[in-house]
Amino acid sequence: MINKKIRIGVENISKSFNMDLKKRSILSRVLGVAGTESGGERNNNNLEVLKNISFDVKEGEVFGLIGKNGSGKSTLLRIIAGIYQPDSGKVFIKGNLVYLNGLRNGLIPKLTMRENIFLMGSVMGLSQADIKRRFVQIVEFSDLGEFVDNKVYQFSSGMIARLNFSVMINCLEHKNPDILLLDEVFGSGGDIDFQKKSVAKMEEFIYKGASVILASHSLDVIKKYSNKTILLERGKKLMIDTPDNVINFYIKHIKN
């Protein structure tokens, strides 16, 4: 039984994907890997992405998650979030969980900003009534009020990032999660002023007591926010220690 102080328990998690040639192009786009170019190891047509990963995250802890592309970071977060099922091992979750993957995905280009707000809010678990109550806040935070009835395909990448973040942050405020999984969320777009506002808002959730796993290629972000840091390499947990120790090891032995 999971300790009452532990929010996330990961026990001997392993995961492989079938990389059959006929399916590879579609699967690669979904997983963000490209056949043997990824960091996993191949066994016939299977790509072993995670191998016997174990760790616990307690209440209020912030774990950094680092590693090169293909090391298994996003797959691990998706298993913890329940999006993927592990081949072996177990995940224990205590509390409500929100998983966020970047700020450029999820919008439907042919829909208007207004329609996308209701769609994304629904996907993140808000009722239509909840979205209506938060609609003005979402639009105001995005600074995109004059474009609310424009179709999203007309938006720049910065505008898309601002809209995505504005919906996301209002959904987080509504759900007030116990567990927050952040996959490359920091620095995902918008102008400098908006990025500062976004970081300040995310810090409210990180510092208010949620248990957080933060995957990022920005070592400065990992060092600033995490209490502990996990290093993955080719699907294996190489070490888990203080951010300084793990980052120094990563720079010296892995990154270059």
Q: How does pLDDT run across 219-243, given as a tens digit for each residue?
A: 999 999 999 999 999 999 999 999 9
CB 182 within 8 A of CB 41: no
Q: What sign results for the dihedral spanned by CA atoms 122, 125, 131, 134?
A: negative
Q: What is the pLDDT of residue 15?
A: 95
- How many CA atoms does the CB half-sphere of 131 hold within 13 Å? 18
- Let me know if residue 149 belongs to a domain: no
Q: What is the pLDDT of residue 125?
A: 82
Residues facing residue 178 across a β-bridge: none
- Let me know if residue 128 belongs to a domain: no
CB 111 within 8 A of CB 45: no
Kindly indicate the confidence band of residue 13, based on its pLDDT and cuts at 50, 70 and 90.
Answer: very high
Q: Choose the weakest-confidence range: 7-11, 18-22, 44-48, 118-122.
A: 18-22
CATH number at residue 43: 3.40.50.300
Q: What is the DSSP string of 31-64?
A: HT--GGGSSSEEETTEEEEEEEEEEEEETT-EEE
Q: What sign results for the dihedral spanned by CA atoms 41, 46, 47, 50?
A: negative
Tell me the two tokens of residue 155: 């938006």
Average of pLDDT values for 7-28?
75
Residue 238 one-letter amino acid: L
What confidence tens digit (pLDDT) does each residue in 28-76 have? 544 454 443 345 665 667 889 999 999 999 999 999 999 999 899 999 9
- Let me know if residue 73 belongs to a domain: yes
- Let me know if residue 246 belongs to a domain: yes
Integer CA distances (angstroms), 93 to 4, 98, 183, 222, 250, in order: 11, 12, 18, 23, 29
3-state SS class at 127:
coil
- Let me know if residue 65 belongs to a domain: yes
Q: What is the pLDDT of residue 206?
A: 83
Order across the sheet with 41-43: list the strands: 41-43, 46-58, 6-18, 88-93
Residue 38 one-letter amino acid: S
The conformation of residue 72, written as its DSSP 8-state character, comes to: S
Cα–Cα distance for residue pair 32/245, rounded to 1 Å: 28
Kindly indicate the confidence band of residue 200, based on its pLDDT and cuts at 50, 70 and 90.
Answer: confident
Q: Is 150's pLDDT higher than 70?
A: yes
- Let me know if residue 31 belongs to a domain: yes
- How many CA atoms does the CB half-sphere of 121 hold within 13 Å? 26
- Domain region containing 65: 6-96+213-255
Cα–Cα distance for residue pair 161/151, rounded to 1 Å: 15
Share of the chain above pLDDT 70, in %: 85
Across the chain, mean pLDDT equals 86
- Let me know if residue 67 belongs to a domain: yes
Average of pLDDT values for 145-150?
96
- Let me know if residue 106 belongs to a domain: no
Q: Choose the weakest-confidence range: 112-116, 142-146, 199-203.
A: 199-203
Kindly indicate the confidence band of residue 187, based on its pLDDT and cuts at 50, 70 and 90.
Answer: low
**How many domains are there within the chain?**
1
Cα–Cα distance for residue pair 65/238, rounded to 1 Å: 11
Q: What is the pLDDT of residue 39?
A: 56
What confidence tens digit (pLDDT) does each residue in 77-130 have? 999 999 999 999 999 999 999 888 865 567 899 999 999 999 989 888 889 999
Cα–Cα distance for residue pair 181/215, rounded to 1 Å: 8
